[in-house]
Structure 1
């Protein structure tokens, strides 16, 4: 049995996994997506479909960015495999990049529920998808549908991101972990990526594997790269991929 639960990051939603779902379901993977419900989508917290005692059961949690801190801790703890896409343990770096990152996050926090909220979110999404194409009109349409409850979650989760300083609670130390880093990520600092790898090496029984993607931004959009991640899950646990 092979199943996946995917968790989006801050200001994202479950629709971002549409290409992923098609690719995995074509190869007999069972797919579910968690949803925070920032926009006009009902919040969802999926559960694994299969009992953990089944032979050769593969439970995969795929988390984007803050998603590893947002996903249900029971899911994270019982996952046999974990894919961390442009994720982090501590978001704000402790070195020279600390101050500008902190200031940018403070500006984003102040924009929530303010007249410049939509402009802030639009700028964030364009930066997160860069260097890849993004349909700005569809983003702006979605931004008009943020509910009061969704806006509260958006603010609470940004606080969680700002305060993050360690690996997400519940991470199974026996899990097989794949770190996916985009070399053109304009959201995460390099020190933040290095800190995640260091923390995982200290936490896990088996060192994490790493994929470095040269042609992606904070969001992974290219089919070839989604298939590369699927290939690791199915075949390549014994070696790193570059």
Structure 2
């Protein structure tokens, strides 16, 4: 192939690098795919782009947008934001009240019943699907709890990271975690190429419940993805 593609992938709250296992099986083998790890269940890992990489891509799911290093984002040719949010609490007062009540309940219960809080979160994240891949092993309660608390006030001003990369925001219309699609609003201030799509009948775990659909859509937008797919 004429260019080396590298994708760095960042999972959201409550998950780990295994969140992206379906993508490892799906992507053409010529694409370098590295999965970051926040450290919720095992050791944290923060990948870097190789110096000779010609086309750099970042996959960001949910809170992954917030813990990915800005230096990585600044190098990306394409940013793909799955189920992303700038502020976790929505602007609409009726939705904000619901989200705030749910978040505070999780924060209150987590120190006492962390696995129960995680299990309820997974149920919401995978809905309307009944189940999905979840991390194995014991949770590291400190980073999970700290990031959960951070959701009270976390903000992501996309306009401050307007580096010229193509930005793609993908959402599900039945997201029980965010309550409404946010992707188009996140990338609205971006001055360069941007695309957004809301998948019907899909929830917060969009990239692992509709992996093939997401990849097909990305191939339709990014010519080099399509070439790699067609030259397997």
Shift in Å, 1:90: 1.0
Partner SS, residue 203 of structure 2: coil
CA distance in 2, matches of 1:12, 1:218: 12
Distance 2:221 2:36 in 1: 20
Task: Give the equivalent residue in structure 1 for 2:31.
Answer: 29
Q: Does 1:201 align with 2:188?
A: yes
Q: 1:1-242 to 2 correspondence within 5 Å?
A: 1-26=4-29, 28-39=30-41, 41-51=42-52, 57-96=54-93, 97-114=95-112, 116-134=113-131, 139=134, 142=136, 145-146=138-139, 150-167=140-157, 171-190=161-180, 193=182, 196-202=183-189, 204-220=190-206, 221-232=209-220, 234-235=222-223
Distance 1:76 1:109 in 2: 29
Rate the CA distance shift 1:81–1:154 in 2: closer, same or farther, 3 A. same
DSSP-derived class of the 2:169 partner? strand
Instruction: Give distance in 2, aligned partners of 1:111 and 1:98.
Output: 20
**Over residues 121-177 of structure 1, what are the superposed CA-to-partner deviations in whole Å (9 max), with x where a residue is unaligned?**
101101100112415xx74x83x611xxx2111111112222123336973431100
Equivalent residues of 1:76, 1:172 under 8 A apart? no
Q: CA RMSD in A?
A: 2.4
Give ranges in structure 2 of 5+ residues lacking alignment.
Answer: 226-232
What is the DSSP-based 3-state SS (H/G/I as helix, E as strand, rest coil) of the residue aligned with 2:167?
Answer: strand
Alpha-carbon distance between aligned partners in 1 of 2:224 and 2:85, rounded to the nearest angstrom: 23
- Name the stretch that deviates more: 123-132 or 91-100: 91-100
Q: Which secondary structure state, in structure 2, belongs to the residue aligned with residue 69 of structure 1?
A: helix
User: Contact between 1:74 and 1:170, CA under 8 Å: does it hold in 2?
Assistant: no
How far has the Cα of 1:14 moved from its partner? 0.6
Instruction: Give the count of matched residue pairs.
Output: 219
Change (3 A) 1:229 1:3: farther
Pairwise CA distance, 1:232: 3.9
Q: Supply the distance in 2 between the matched residues of 1:170 and 1:70 (Cα, whole angstroms).
A: 15
Residues 69 and 37 (structure 1), Cα distance of their counterparts in 2 relative to 1, 3 Å cut:
same
- Could you tell which deviates more after superposition, 162-171 or 95-104? 162-171
Normalised by the length of structure 2, the TM-score is 0.85
Is the 1:7–1:67 contact (alpha carbons within 8 Å) kept by the matching residues of 2?
A: yes
Of the structure 1 ranges 124-133 and 29-38, higher mean CA displacement relative to structure 2 is found in 124-133
SS of structure 2 residue aligned to 1:178:
strand
CA contact (8 A) 2:165 2:193 kept: no
1:37 touches 1:43 (CA, 8 Å); kept in 2? yes
Counterpart of 1:100 in 2: which secondary structure? helix
Work out whether residues 201 and 207 of structure 1, in 8 Å CA contact, stay in contact via their aligned partners in 2: no
Once residues 210 and 87 of structure 2 are traced to their aligned partners in structure 1, the CA distance between those partners, rounded to angstroms, is 27
Can you give the 5+ residue segments of structure 1 that lack an aligned partner in the other structure? 238-242
